[in-house]
Amino acid sequence: MKTYSDFELRAEIKKLKKEKRHTEAKRLLLSRIDENFFKKSSVSDDYCSQTFTARFTKELIKLFIQLGEKEKALHAFRQGLKLPHLKRESEIAFSLSIRSIYPQIAKQYIPEYKIKTIERKVVSKKGKQKFLGKNGKELFVEEIALEYYRYNGNWHGIWLTPTTESLYFKRLRQTIGLDNYKELTNNVMNNMGHSCNLCYGAPDLILHKGFIRKIGKSVEVKGLKDKLSAAQLVWIEQFNKLHSEFEVLKVKEKNKQNNIKTKTLTNATRKF
């Protein structure tokens, strides 16, 4: 069998999964995993420390599920949770992977969040989705969210883009205060499964009313078929710990009944 580097192996497995050759992908992945695989997660060798182990554990869980091997998926999930120095992002990623077959087990490790759903006419589903705004213009999903909050509560905000990054984080500091900002960002980075830019997983919008430090909240925006990532859930959890208002806004395709629904997703207390 060909010897793959870590990067090549991930690419080959991705290719096989895309071609729905799940059995071959599993065989290739298992060929790299020996009985000491999980123990090597904190060692700097060919396994590239815990990051490598966590990524491949998640892939293994998904492959077992796709092949209908539920008990093996659960075993891999439990083994993954025992990884030395497991980061919160990886723990959530494992839980998201297994949620479809063991929701009661997975929800113990996924933070709570408030979700609001609105409906808009879809203009384009190709590439970055576009929706029809109130003024008849075609808007990206984040722009639809800014429009919605402007008309519903007189909120004003910043959308995180490469050109607004500096202003975005300045506004976040102003909204939650410097001490809370330092605690939030330090905790986020410490809980990520790998080194990353602070923008990684950060919420799309920072909203405020009037005087910025008086009233504010953060919003993650999701379009059609978009799902929350483990990194985004790390941010949500840290906002929750600061008791800072956070909301997930889902924009769906408009149907006959254009109702706005709000609900809170609650999970059982996390168990470690």
Residue 41's Cβ-side half-sphere holds a number of Cα atoms within 13 Å equal to: 22
Q: Who's near 36: CB < 8 A, 6+ residues apart? A: none
Query: Could you report the per-residue pLDDT of 223-271, keeping only the tens digit for each?
Result: 999 999 999 999 999 999 999 999 999 999 987 554 455 454 544 434 4
| 43 confidence band (pLDDT: 50, 70, 90) | very low
- pLDDT at residue 149, as a whole number: 95
> What global pTM score does this model have?
0.84
Q: Tell me which DSSP letter residue 214 carries.
A: T
- pLDDT at residue 265, as a whole number: 52
Output the DSSP codes for 223-247.
-TT----HHHHHHHHHHHHTT--EE
Look-up of token digits 């293994």: 60
Residue 211 has pLDDT above 70, yes or no: no
- pLDDT at residue 46, as a whole number: 41
Which burial class, exposed, middle or buried, applies to 200 when counting CB atoms under 10 A from its CB (0-12, 13-18, 19+)? Answer: middle
Residue 37 or 254, more confident: 254
Segment of 30-34, 186-190, 263-267 carrying the highest mean pLDDT: 186-190
Segment 28-53 shows an average pLDDT of 60
Query: Could you report the per-residue pLDDT of 133-184, keeping only the tens digit for each?
Result: 998 999 999 999 999 999 999 999 999 999 999 999 999 998 888 999 999 9
How far CA 252 is from CA of 3, 102, 126, 132, in Å, comes to: 45, 27, 15, 12
Output the DSSP codes for 164-213.
THHHHHHHHHHHH-HHHHHHHHHHHHHHSSS---TTTT--SEEEEESSTT
Query: Could you report the per-residue pLDDT of 105-139, keeping only the tens digit for each?
Result: 999 999 999 999 999 999 988 888 999 999 899 99
- Ranges of H-type helices in the chain: 6-18, 22-32, 49-66, 70-81, 88-98, 103-106, 141-151, 165-176, 178-191, 230-241
| 194 confidence band (pLDDT: 50, 70, 90) | confident
Query: Could you report the per-residue pLDDT of 72-94, keeping only the tens digit for each?
Result: 999 999 988 988 778 999 999 99
| 193 confidence band (pLDDT: 50, 70, 90) | confident
- pLDDT at residue 32, as a whole number: 72
- pLDDT at residue 258, as a whole number: 47
- % of the chain exceeding 70 in pLDDT: 85
- pLDDT at residue 262, as a whole number: 47
- % of the chain exceeding 90 in pLDDT: 58
Pick the closest to residue 29 from 88, 98, 42, 21 (CA basis).
21
Q: Who's near 176: CB < 8 A, 6+ residues apart? A: 184, 216, 242, 244
